[in-house]
Homo-oligomer: A and B are copies of this chain.
Amino acid sequence: MEYRAINLAEKLGKVSELWSPRVIAGLNDYRFKVARVQGEFVWHAHEDTDEAFIVLSGQLVIRFRDGEVRLSEGEMFVVPKGVEHCPVAEDECHLLLVEPAGVVNTGDAGGERSAPVDQWV
């Protein structure tokens, strides 16, 4: 059988929209997603799940109501479920996200910045 490596940079190269995570792999009922982000996203929370952010390139700030965390390449953070957060990237930043299938990027906030759910690339 042929087994194929999943190259993160190659997958990111196929994503043109910002703030629109695309699935690259499944792990049981969890999904790995890549995302290109720049600028400020929307404040939101995921009421039912934690959400993992891994920075592949660039820098990401995740703002919380009572603080923030700054992530550089090779760093990660898990936002606990129910915690309001707002991701911000001054310059373009590439992310690997891990979360259960079915998670909407805007969480409880919804709105026009909601991306298609679990769309593969």
- A residues contacting B by CB (< 8 A) are 1-9, 24-28, 30, 32, 49-52, 54, 56, 62, 64, 66-72, 74-78, 81, 96, 98-100
How many chain copies does the complex carry? Answer: 2
Query: Is chain A's interface secondary structure helix, strand, loop, or mixed overall?
Result: strand
Q: Is the CB of B98 within 8 A of A7?
A: no
Contact: A9 with B74, CB < 8 Å?
A: yes
By a CB distance below 8 angstroms, the chain B residues around A50 are 26-28
Query: Could you write out 12 A-B pairs with CB less than 8 Å apart?
Result: A3-B62, A3-B67, A5-B72, A7-B74, A8-B76, A25-B76, A25-B78, A27-B52, A28-B49, A32-B78, A56-B74, A98-B98
**CB pair A66 B1 closer than 8 Å:** yes
Q: How distant is A34 from chain B, measured CB to nearest CB, in Å?
A: 10
A14 to chain B, nearest CB (A): 15
